[in-house]
Amino acid sequence: MNFWVYFMVGISVALALGLMFLIYKNLKEAKKILNLSVISIVFVIIGLTIGLWLNNNSLKSILIYDAALLIGYSLIMLLIYFFKKNTKKNNKLNTKMTAFLGIIVGMASVLMILGFSIIPGFIFLKVEFSALVIFVTLLWFDFKTAVIVSLLTNILHFLMPGTPPLIPLLDEMVNFLATMIFILPTAIYLNKDRKARGINHISILWLTILGVALTTVLMVLFNQYINLPIIYKIDMSFKEVLTVFGIFNFIKWSLDAFLINLTWKRFYSLKTNIF
């Protein structure tokens, strides 16, 4: 086994444990939150490992992915910690949010890694379900927090080992843009009247349907007039773009919407038990 694989794994574990100790050492609830963080990230790593193993990845590749996730998770928790430290909320709540948002980013990152292709000949167009985590983040917190989680998730995905992209971070930023478009109707609705109207199945259903339609239309236009001709220098007719990117985005975001409507209430009810 390559020395650098072991080195990367060792450094990642040391970073994760050291950072957790730094954040929790002065808290009365440290043990409870630490256990939650450790158990959650362990399950995330196990899920990633199983997924990569089932995908016939080598042990070396699996270790590199796991190590990269731990390193990214540690760094992201550090960023969230310092960001929340400067807010007006008390330190205990900041630390809880730091731990919890770190877990959320880790889970979203794994879901993004475990994407799968659905359009023959366009293997880079992958369906993945990180939007479910971003949407739940929006319901739990606010649009700003959802933006941060989505942005960090995409940056972490960019840092993962893999084929070098034509333009660094481009695919991740396109995914970030699409995710923001998808959750925007819900964000506007919640920002205007979260308390007065409440959050219910009907509102979430219609908001996610609107998100699917909006994302599909705008991503088709984005690929037709900006992404393909200007960035990638690819000439495709509108019919071809509509067939490929229209169908892909409709299927991807419809599946996300389906999962959200199936699970959002269970996730939303967890908030009162955590904060």
CATH code of the domain in which 273 resides: 1.10.1760.20
Rounded to the nearest 10 degrees, the angle between the axes of helix 247-269 and helix 170-197 is 50
Whole-number Å distance between alpha carbons of 91 and 256: 34
Confidence of residue 2 (pLDDT cuts 50, 70, 90): very low
Same structural domain for residues 110 and 190?
Answer: no
Would you give the DSSP letter of residue 25?
A: T
Same structural domain for residues 206 and 109?
Answer: no
Which of the residue ranges 22-31, 114-123, 241-250 has the most confident prediction, judged by mean pLDDT? 241-250
CB 175 within 8 A of CB 154: yes
Same structural domain for residues 87 and 130?
Answer: no
Same structural domain for residues 153 and 219?
Answer: yes
- Flag whether pLDDT at 93 surpasses 60: no
State the sign of the Cα–Cα–Cα–Cα dihedral 204, 154, 122, 66. negative
Whole-number Å distance between alpha carbons of 155 and 77: 13
- Flag whether pLDDT at 243 surpasses 70: yes
Which of the residue ranges 69-78, 145-154, 188-197 has the most confident prediction, judged by mean pLDDT? 145-154
Same structural domain for residues 143 and 205?
Answer: yes
Domain boundary among 114, 129, 164: 114
Q: What percent of the chain has pLDDT over 70?
A: 63
Same structural domain for residues 149 and 100?
Answer: no
- Flag whether pLDDT at 14 surpasses 60: no
Domain boundary among 65, 81, 114: 114
pLDDT of 20-55, one tens digit each? 555 555 445 545 555 556 666 676 676 667 666 766
Q: What percent of the chain has pLDDT over 90?
A: 29
Mean pLDDT rounded to a whole number for the chain: 76
Same structural domain for residues 206 and 151?
Answer: yes
Total of domains in the chain: 2
Same structural domain for residues 228 and 94?
Answer: no
Coil/strand/helix, residue 126: strand
pLDDT of 192-210, one tens digit each? 765 545 678 899 999 999 9
End-to-end CA distance of the chain: 44
- Going by C-alpha positions, the residue among 85, 108, 186 that lies closest to residue 143 is 186
Same structural domain for residues 125 and 258?
Answer: yes
Same structural domain for residues 104 and 148?
Answer: no
Same structural domain for residues 156 and 272?
Answer: yes
Residue numbers of the domain that contains 133:
119-275
Domain boundary among 91, 114, 137: 114
Mean pLDDT of the 78-86 span = 61
Same structural domain for residues 241 and 206?
Answer: yes
